Amino acid sequence: MKHLLTLHDWSTEEILDTLALAKKLKEEQKKGIPHPHLKGKTLGMIFSKSSTRTRVSFEVGMYQLGGSALFLNSNDIQLGRGESIYDTANVLSRFLDGIMIRTYKQSDVEDLAKYGSIPIINGLTDLVHPCQILADFQTVLEKKGALKGLKMAFIGDGNNIAHSLLYGCAKVGMDVSIATPKGYECNAEVVKNALADAEKTGANIVLTHSPEEAIAGADAVYADTWISMGQESEKEEKVKIFMPYQINQELFSKAKKDAIFLHCLPAYRGYEVTEDVIDGPNSVIFDEAENRLHAQKAVMVRLMSQEA
């Protein structure tokens, strides 16, 4: 295991071991026990899109691990002026010990991994957001004590979060139901890959247009914005189409009584979720956001330290 490009690339064991390490690192952090596994190492963080959680959690995470992180806005480095991924990967590999990249095309992240010689961590592309799902799984484990055999329901756009949930749930044996409007279904290749993995782990995958069907009996209910970064011009049209997919109290009540509510954030109250649900007693969104820090520290230790 050298990179984190998608969760599909990782084995079930690699995912579960990383989650176990994330739990340990969180406990150490809370107790004030130092854990400088990446002393003297530097992570480069390339961003072509906005970020609050990813940027801050990676930077703080590196600091807590004894290393340092460099914020590289893609507009300010030569990549934004057309320098090739090939040259960028080769040059940055001479300075850094790892790269986290948030960008549009999944192929750019794959190319960085192909041409560079250091670990590459996908911090979100249009296709997937693997770090987010590791933090989500850590949160489900904390609240429910298991992943396998539980049911996750995602209601909304067949986007990067939906794709990473498919990949992640298929690997860990968690049932996953995704409800999207017609025309906004998940990527066919992602679905095919996830179905193949699910066959091995016993995860049940359901893809539907019915939010009621997806949410029925769910242990965890997940929402994301309807307007992902880069889709701002589609807002007016999408809001009309997605309104029946809003997670409000009426829909949420069809999940299990003790279901938790997850959202990767940023959230838009009154659109994909109502205030009473996201700010209600079943919502765990801030624990989920915090776990970005712990889960990503585990990813960095596994990929960037010689010890792991």
Interacting residues toward ligand CP by CB under 6 A = 51-54, 124, 132, 264-265
Rounded to the nearest 10°, the torsion over CA 140, 146, 148, 151 is -50
Tell me, yes or no, if 302 is annotated catalytic: no
- Under the criterion CB under 6 A, does residue 159 sit at the interface with ligand NVA? yes
Sign of CA dihedral 308, 23, 28, 61: positive
Residues 106-135 close enough to bind ligand NVA by CB under 6 A: 124
Determine which residue in the list 160, 193, 246, 274 makes contact with ligand NVA, applying CB under 6 A.
160
The neighbour count for residue 14, using CB atoms within 10 Å, is 15
Determine the Cα–Cα distance for residues 128 and 170; give it in Å rounded to an integer. 14
Of 3, 8, 102, 163, which is the active-site residue?
Answer: 102
Residue with the shortest CB distance to ligand CP: 54
Distances (CA, A) of 183 to 25, 90, 130, 194, 291: 41, 40, 24, 20, 33
Tell me, yes or no, if 264 is annotated catalytic: yes
Of 8, 263, 264, 302, which is the active-site residue?
Answer: 264
DSSP state for residue 209 in the 8-state scheme: S
Quick one: 175 or 224, whose CB is closer to ligand NVA?
Answer: 224
Tell me, yes or no, if 55 is annotated catalytic: no
Helical spans, DSSP H, in 69-187: 85-95, 106-115, 130-144, 160-172
Cis peptide leading into residue 281 (ω within 30°): no
- Under the criterion CB under 6 A, does residue 224 sit at the interface with ligand NVA? yes
Q: How far apart are the first and last CA of the chain?
A: 11
Of 129, 263, 294, 302, which is the active-site residue?
Answer: 129
Q: Going by C-beta distance under 8 Å and a sequence separation of 6 or more, which residues neighbour residue 163? A: 127, 128, 186, 187, 190
Among ligand CP, ligand NVA, none, residue 283 binds (CB under 5-8 Å by kind): none
- Under the criterion CB under 6 A, does residue 264 sit at the interface with ligand NVA? yes
Quick one: 1 or 229, whose CB is closer to ligand NVA?
Answer: 229
Quick one: 160 or 296, whose CB is closer to ligand NVA?
Answer: 160
Determine the Cα–Cα distance for residues 124 and 144; give it in Å rounded to an integer. 26
Minimum CB separation of residue 124 from ligand CP in Å reads: 6
- Residues β-bridged to residue 46: 72, 101
Residue with the shortest CB distance to ligand NVA: 228
Query: CB of 116 within 8 A of CB of 108?
Result: no
Among ligand NVA, ligand CP, none, residue 12 binds (CB under 5-8 Å by kind): none
- Under the criterion CB under 6 A, does residue 229 sit at the interface with ligand NVA? yes
Determine the Cα–Cα distance for residues 237 and 254; give it in Å rounded to an integer. 28
Which segment (72-80, 223-231, 271-279, 280-288) binds ligand NVA by CB under 6 A? 223-231
Minimum CB separation of residue 224 from ligand NVA in Å reads: 5
Residues within the interface to ligand NVA (CB under 6 A): 124, 159-161, 224-225, 228-229, 264
* Residues designated catalytic: 102, 129, 132, 224, 264, 292
